[in-house]
């Protein structure tokens, strides 16, 4: 059966994964998409691995009911804790996102890279494995971005609370002389302007959005799943809490935002 016109599914603990969805839909303009913002259960980062897996299974089932042809796990916390489980249990290609510490380790001159991510990501075995695979002379300064996801989910992207927290998290890394900062949570690219004001121009800010988009394209090619239709692609975004927050972030054509349970 030809499933190439079926949508690419995405899920995240909330609205942050749309930073990835934007990259993918820009690189692959023919593709229909369905995005799940599980805002009701955000943040995932403070939950146990078992709880995160359960939520990922719920999201995956919903996307499979919508006949998605592949799923992008647009959340570092979900990927680092649950993607192995999902790949073992569901017969569909999954694309995940991991903090870009490897690319950062290749460009740093001071040999010190900072990473801002959730507790769930930084404590995961997958992250530990990637961190251990870097060259010995690279020092990673890890910081948990406590509270940032919640503020973004509450529509407080441009608040004093956000800038105050960012100062608290970034100043110690700057004092350690990092020259690359990895955004290890898909909510954080929405904070890039605020972060840039704090870290200045000498530090490279790295997120994984473009790499995930390229990987999604490669996976579709590999499985012969590219949508060849010339019709405008359709996008449906489901959110299970306060759709106004998502509406503020999305302005793409042919996009419908629906607030409902899933």
Could you list the active site residues? 75, 185
Q: What minimum distance in Å lies between the beta carbon of 150 and ligand DGL?
A: 9
CB of 40 to ligand DGL, least distance (A): 11
Site for ligand DGL in 66-95 (CB under 6 A): 75-77
Cβ 153 to ligand DGL, closest distance in Å? 8
Does position 185 interact with ligand DGL (CB under 6 A)? The reply is yes
Among 121, 130, 240, 255, the residue binding ligand DGL under the rule CB under 6 A is: 121
CB 195 → ligand DGL: shortest distance, Å? Answer: 15
Q: Restricting to residues 7-66, which ones interact with ligand DGL according to CB under 6 A?
A: 12-14, 16-17, 42-45
Tokens 């899933």 belong to 262
Q: Does 116 bind ligand DGL (CB under 6 A)?
A: no
Q: For strand 8-12 and strand 139-144, is the pairing parallel, antiparallel, or unpaired?
A: unpaired
Q: What are the CA-CA distances from residue 36 to residues 40, 173, 174, 225, 238 (Å)?
A: 11, 33, 35, 21, 5
- Residue number with CB closer to ligand DGL (113 or 144): 144
Distances in whole angstroms, Cα of residue 10 to Cα of each of 17, 61, 67, 96, 211 = 8, 12, 12, 10, 15
Partners of residue 113 on adjacent β-strands: 140, 180
The reply on whether position 149 binds ligand DGL by CB under 6 A is: yes
Separation between Cα atoms, residue 19 and residue 15, nearest integer Å: 8
- Tell me whether residue 12 or residue 31 sits nearer to ligand DGL (CB atom): 12
d(CA 105, CA 99) in angstroms, rounded, equals: 12
Other CB atoms within a 10 A radius of the CB of residue 56 amount to 26
Of the candidates 51, 126, 57, 120, the one whose C-alpha atom is nearest the C-alpha of residue 85 is 57
| Span interacting with ligand DGL, options 6-14, 57-65, 131-139, 196-204, rule CB under 6 A | 6-14
Q: Are 2 and 189 in contact (CB under 8 A)?
A: no
- Quick one: 33 or 208, whose CB is closer to ligand DGL? 208
Q: Which is nearer to ligand DGL, 77 or 227 (CB)?
A: 77
Beta strand pairing call for 8-12 and 33-37:
parallel
- Compose the 195-234 pattern: x for residues touching ligand DGL by CB under 6 A, - for all others: ----------------------------------------
Cis amide linkage into residue 43, ω under 30° from 0: yes
Least separation in angstroms between CB 45 and ligand DGL:
3
Q: Which of 69, 187, 194, 243 binds ligand DGL (CB under 6 A)?
A: 187
Cβ at position 231, least distance to ligand DGL in Å: 31
Q: Which of 3, 136, 109 is nearest to 64 (CA)?
A: 3
Q: Give CA torsion, residues 204, 207, 209, 210, to 10 deg.
A: 30
Q: Applying CB under 6 A, which residues contact ligand DGL?
A: 12-14, 16-17, 42-45, 75-77, 118, 121, 149, 185-187
């Amino acid at each position: 059966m030809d499933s190439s016109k079926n949508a690419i599914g995405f899920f995240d603990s909330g609205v942050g994964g749309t930073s990835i969805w934007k990259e993918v839909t820009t690189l692959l303009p023919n593709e229909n998409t369905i995005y799940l913002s599980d805002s009701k259960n955000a943040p995932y980062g403070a939950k146990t691995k078992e709880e995160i897996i359960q939520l990922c299974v719920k999201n995956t089932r919903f996307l499979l009911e919508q006949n998605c042809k592949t799923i992008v796990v647009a959340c570092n916390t979900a990927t680092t804790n649950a993607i192995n489980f999902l790949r073992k249990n569901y017969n569909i290609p999954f694309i995940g996102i991991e903090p870009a510490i490897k690319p950062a380790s290749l460009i740093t001159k001071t040999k010190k890279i900072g990473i801002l991510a959730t507790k769930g990501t930084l404590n995961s075995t997958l992250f530990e494995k990637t961190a251990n695979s870097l060259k010995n002379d690279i020092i990673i300064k890890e910081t948990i971005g406590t509270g940032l996801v919640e503020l973004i989910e509450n529509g407080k992207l441009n608040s004093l609370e956000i800038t105050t927290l960012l100062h608290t998290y970034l100043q110690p890394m700057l004092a350690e002389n990092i020259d690359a900062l990895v955004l290890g949570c898909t909510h954080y690219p929405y904070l890039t302007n605020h972060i840039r004001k704090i870290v200045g121009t000498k530090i490279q800010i790295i997120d994984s959005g473009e790499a995930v988009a390229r990987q999604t394209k490669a996976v579709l090619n590999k499985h012969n799943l590219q949508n060849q239709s010339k019709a405008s692609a359709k996008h449906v975004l489901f959110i299970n809490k306060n759709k106004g927050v998502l509406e503020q972030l999305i302005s793409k054509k042919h996009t419908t935002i629906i607030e409902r349970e899933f």
